[in-house]
């Protein structure tokens, strides 16, 4: 019976593109949780799939030079958010890194979420999802939502002129409608830094 579950799991995984992420409950139709766990463990041991974290699996992409190419933190976080039907946004030092305002990837990565608070281990990293008010995850622009969190991390009156210039340059690559929506969600001092980019995009 367990072997049959293993075959069904592998068949489903191989239908998806390499690099796609799966959760234990992605296979809930194939058996009970204990049987699924054992089948997934066997597939990991056989090298068919890799375990990313507790209950998270991938059939990694393969590169001729570097070999296995594993999903990055952002891909994993977004997959968790899709599963939970939640919204997330990177915050703190990770938001600064994503924007290129910091070269360091923090070992403790924090996302705000309107979903379930949780903490997971991914390799040497700890990824935390912190419950927050819906307003804090309502920004829709990929760039503008990062900018809001990055500026909050730097702090009012602590943003250097060079950082302001770089942020405004980033924002000029944002969709105008997204920026117009997101700037309304930001604190007044953050809006002041972001607003020149709107004027540029409106020209």
φ and ψ at 6, to 5 degrees? Answer: -60, -45
Joined together, the tokens standing for residue 65 give 């030079």
Nearest-angstrom CA–CA distance, 18 and 92 = 31
State yes or no: pLDDT of 1 exceeds 80. no
Q: What is the pLDDT of residues 49-63, one digit of tens each?
A: 999 999 999 999 888
Q: What is the mean pLDDT of residues 157-182?
A: 95
Joined together, the tokens standing for residue 54 give 């507790």
pTM: 0.88
Do you know the residue count of the chain?
Answer: 203
**How, if at all, do strands 118-122 and 61-63 pair?**
unpaired
Of the chain, the percentage scoring pLDDT greater than 90 comes to 88
pLDDT band for 181, please (50, 70, 90 cuts): very high
State yes or no: pLDDT of 2 exceeds 70. no
Q: What is the pLDDT of residues 136-155, one digit of tens each?
A: 999 999 999 999 999 999 99
pLDDT band for 202, please (50, 70, 90 cuts): confident
Output the CA torsion 2→7→8→13 (10° steps): 130
pLDDT of residue 62: 87
Joined together, the tokens standing for residue 200 give 């540029």
Q: What is the pLDDT of residues 73-110, one digit of tens each?
A: 999 999 999 999 999 999 999 999 999 999 888 999 99
Of the chain, the percentage scoring pLDDT greater than 70 comes to 99
130: Cβ contacts below 8 Å, ≥ 6 apart: 91, 110, 111, 112, 113, 117
Q: What is the pLDDT of residues 105-141, one digit of tens each?
A: 899 999 999 999 999 999 999 999 999 999 999 999 9
């Amino acid at each position: 019976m367990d072997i049959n579950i293993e075959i069904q799991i592998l068949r489903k995984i191989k239908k998806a593109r390499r690099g796609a992420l799966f959760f234990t409950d992605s296979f809930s139709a194939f058996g009970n949780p204990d049987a699924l766990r054992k089948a997934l463990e066997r597939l990991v041991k056989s090298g068919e799939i890799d375990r990313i974290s507790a209950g998270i699996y991938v059939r990694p992409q393969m590169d001729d030079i570097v070999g296995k190419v594993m999903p990055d933190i952002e891909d994993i976080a977004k997959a968790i958010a899709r599963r939970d039907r939640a919204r997330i946004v990177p915050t703190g030092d990770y938001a600064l890194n994503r924007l290129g305002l910091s070269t360091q990837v923090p070992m403790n990565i924090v996302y705000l979420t309107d979903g379930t608070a949780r903490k997971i281990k991914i390799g040497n990293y700890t990824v935390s999802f912190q419950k927050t008010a819906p307003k804090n995850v309502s920004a829709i622009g990929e760039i503008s939502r990062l900018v809001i969190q990055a500026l909050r991390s730097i702090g009012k009156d602590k943003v250097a002129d060079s950082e302001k210039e770089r942020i405004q340059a980033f924002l000029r690559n944002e969709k105008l409608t997204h920026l117009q929506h997101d700037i309304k969600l930001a604190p007044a001092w953050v809006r002041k830094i972001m607003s020149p980019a709107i004027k540029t995009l409106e020209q």
